[in-house]
Chain A
Amino acid sequence: MKTYVCDVCGYVYDPEVGDPEGGIEPGTRFADLPDDWVCPECGAGKDEFSPEE
Chain B
Amino acid sequence: MNDTFRAQQITDSVYWVGAIDWGLRDFHGYATSRGTTYNAYLVLADKIALIDAVKAPFKNELLARIASVIDPQRIDVIVSNHSEMDHSGCLPEVIAAVEPERVVASKAGAETLRQHFDLTSIEAVEDGAVLDLGNRTLQFVETKMVHWPDSMLTYMPEEKLLFSQDAFGMHLATIELFVDNLPRELLEAEAAKYFANILMPLVGPISKALAKVQQSGIALDIVAPDHGPIWRRAEDIAWIIGKYVEWCAQKPTMKAVVTYDTMWGSTERLARAIGEGLKAGGADPRVMPLRGSHRSDVATEVLGAGALVVGSPTLNMNMFPTVADVLTYLKGLKPQNLVGAAFGSYGWAPAGVRHVHETLAAMKVDLVDDGLAVKYVPTDENLKAAHALGVAVAGKLKAACARG
Contacts and interface: CB of A to CB of B under 8 A. Distances in A.
Interface in B108-138: none
Task: Say whether chain B's binding surface is mostly helix, strand, loop, or mixed.
Answer: mixed
Interface in A1-53: 7-9, 41-44, 48
A43 B204 contact: no
Contacts of A43: 142, 144-145, 149, 205
B144 to A, nearest CB: 4
Among A42, A44, A48, chain B packs the most CB atoms within 10 A around the CB of: A42
Contacts of A9: 145, 149
A7 B332 CA distance: 11
B202 interface: yes
Interface string B277-308: 00000000000000000000000000000000
A7 B201 CA distance: 10
A7 B331 CA distance: 13
Interface string B135-167: 000000010110001000000000000000000
Contacts of B202: 8
Nearest to B334: A7
A46 to B, nearest CB: 13
Nearest to B144: A43
B393 to A, nearest CB: 27
A41 B145 CA distance: 9
Contacts of A44: 144-145, 204-205
A9 B202 CA distance: 9
Contacts of A41: 149
Contacts of B149: 9, 41-43
Contacts of A8: 145, 202, 204-205
Nearest to A6: B145
Nearest to A11: B149
A12 B142 CA distance: 22
B169 to A, nearest CB: 20
A7 B149 CA distance: 14
Nearest to A7: B204
Contacts of B142: 43
B204 A48 contact: yes
Contacts of A42: 144-145, 149, 205
A42 B142 CA distance: 11
A26 B144 CA distance: 25
A32 B304 CA distance: 39
A41 B202 CA distance: 14
A35 B322 CA distance: 43
A40 to B, nearest CB: 9
A42 B149 CA distance: 5
A44 B209 CA distance: 12
Contacts of B145: 8-9, 42-44
12 contacts: A7-B204, A8-B145, A8-B202, A8-B204, A8-B205, A9-B145, A42-B145, A43-B145, A43-B149, A44-B145, A44-B205, A48-B204
Given A43-B142, A43-B145, A43-B149, 6 more contacts: A7-B204, A8-B205, A9-B149, A42-B144, A44-B145, A44-B204
